[in-house]
Chains A and B, each alone.
Chain A
Amino acid sequence: MNYRLIALALITFAPFPSLAQSKPAGDIAAQAEQIFRSSFREDNPSYWMKRLDQDDTMRLCSQYKDNPPPRIRQKIEKAEMASVRYPVDGKLIGDWKEGEKLAAVGTGGHIGFIQPDPPGRVRGGNCYACHQLAKKEVAYGTIGPSLQHFGKLRGNSEQIIKYTYDKIYNSNAFTACTNMPRFGLHNWLTPEQITHIVAFLVDPESPVNKD
């Protein structure tokens, strides 16, 4: 009832009708954010609560339900591309065997009081959760495209290697609001670990390409 009165007052007195019309949507977002934020225990360590903070990309992707208009899309992709950092030695391709292990690891990073990961639990790329990769692994997900024969189809030129590294480091540099995490930006994987996954994808000897 109160909201209705306020809305009525806004419509009556607002100098710009369009402004009054845009009010309810913004209102819900602010209320929802407040409700969401106050749904957590006060004794959560602050570094846990930091995980709820949104950067500009997260905020825009949420606002547009992961389908931003072209102008916003370009803005996000440009900003994310600028975030990519490379290994000190400049080598973007590592050991595919290490990459294969990382692709299968889905543990790590769980927090909370009910079922957190033990300290020091290995964090992987968990690539198989969403992608088909080596032929021998049949337990793969389909949220992302199949990456079987990734290198066989694309080759292993310097350009392809750099693209692969950049994509894993920051997926949003190429596709704003993609489902894929920004593994490098969040330090989920180190630059060195990313080079191993690059090798798993492009090395001709890797089971992704050989089988």
Chain B
Amino acid sequence: MRARLQAVLATTALVLAGSALAQDSTMDEIAKYREMLADGNPAELFELKGEALWKKARGPKNASLEQCDMGLGPGKLDGAYAQLPRYFPDTRKVMDVESRLVHCMVSLQGFKEEDVTRQWFSRPGKESDIEALVTYIGAKSNGMKIDVPARHPEEARMAKVGEYIFYRRSGPQDFSCSICHGQNDKRIRLQDLGNLTTQAGAGVAMSTWPSYRVSQGAVWTMQRRLIDCMRQARWPEPKYLSDSVIALQVYLQKTASGTVMQTPGIKR
């Protein structure tokens, strides 16, 4: 593990030094760097931690999450992530993996929502149970096809809302999601950008989260990913689990449907 980390760091230095090299060889180095990262993914540690958290009796009700219904029935996790977000009759809401998980932690385990969401993402030295649990739930859909047809009227409505937000321009830079993610084969600096309006582009993006981010030393969930996009757009951050973030996921998952999940992913 340590040797691998050192190799990663060395490669990072190489990539940074790459600005002295010609364009093509810089891109080659980045490809090699990604390949090396894929060799061993630290997210697997989060997956194991998530599994333990899922099965352990916790909270005021001293219950595990094993009866949590992520959409396919209580405790049925295989393929559940790939079919989220979806409409849940019991809450009468379209929920993504994170809002549903928090719902289960509140209803089954008796936690207070504000307590379980306080650490919804990790900071250095402060791990996040939600990140670990989402990594575990996500991995249970590895190899399965994303399948969010959004047929239920509420799901269809949320897909439309997500599409509206995707093209909504505002802020001191006139940004929308579409500015960076509405065309094929574009880069910001050296970072490739997916065209999230196509199945191929949305597929690459949606099939590889949750993902371990080497630059952050943490697993990022889709909520974290999208909320950070909005920060980069120079907007205020939407609230964790808010409907606009869920709506964007419905729109993107619907567009990505048919793509095989490869999760947990690993990114720069």
Contact = CB atoms under 8 A, between A and B. Distances in A.
Interface of A: 3, 28-29, 31-33, 35-36, 38-41, 44, 48-49, 51-54, 58, 61-62, 65-66, 106, 109-115, 128-130, 137-143, 172, 179-182, 186-188
A44 B187 CA distance: 32
22 contacts: A32-B161, A32-B168, A39-B239, A39-B244, A40-B237, A51-B170, A58-B174, A65-B167, A66-B178, A109-B173, A109-B234, A110-B231, A112-B231, A114-B227, A114-B237, A139-B189, A141-B186, A141-B189, A142-B186, A143-B187, A186-B172, A188-B173
B3 interface: no
Determine chain A's interface SS by DSSP, over half rule: loop
B188 A181 contact: no
B1 interface: no
B74 interface: no
Nearest to B197: A65
Interface string B111-132: 0000000000100000000000
Q: Is the interface of B mostly helix, strand, loop or mixed?
A: mixed
B171 interface: yes
A77 to B, nearest CB: 15
Contact of B173 (A41, A61, A66, A186): A186
B133 interface: no
Contacts of A180: 174
B103 to A, nearest CB: 18
Contacts of A3: 153
A116 to B, nearest CB: 8
B171 A62 contact: no
A143 B23 contact: no
A110 B188 contact: no
B93 interface: no
A84 B170 CA distance: 19
Given A114-B231, A142-B186, 12 more contacts: A28-B157, A32-B168, A40-B238, A52-B171, A66-B178, A110-B231, A110-B232, A111-B231, A114-B228, A138-B22, A139-B190, A179-B179
The contact size tier of chain B is: 35 or more
Interface string B12-32: 000000110111001000000
Contact of B239 (A28, A41, A139): A41
Interface in B173-196: 173-176, 178-180, 182-183, 185-191, 193
Contacts of A40: 236-239, 242
Contacts of B139: none
Contact of A51 (B21, B153, B235, B243): B235
A103 to B, nearest CB: 12
Given A114-B237, A115-B231, A32 B165 contact: yes
Interface in B215-268: 227-228, 231-232, 234-239, 242-245, 247
Interface string B155-171: 00100110011011111
A49 B247 contact: no
Contacts of A48: 236
B237 A141 contact: no
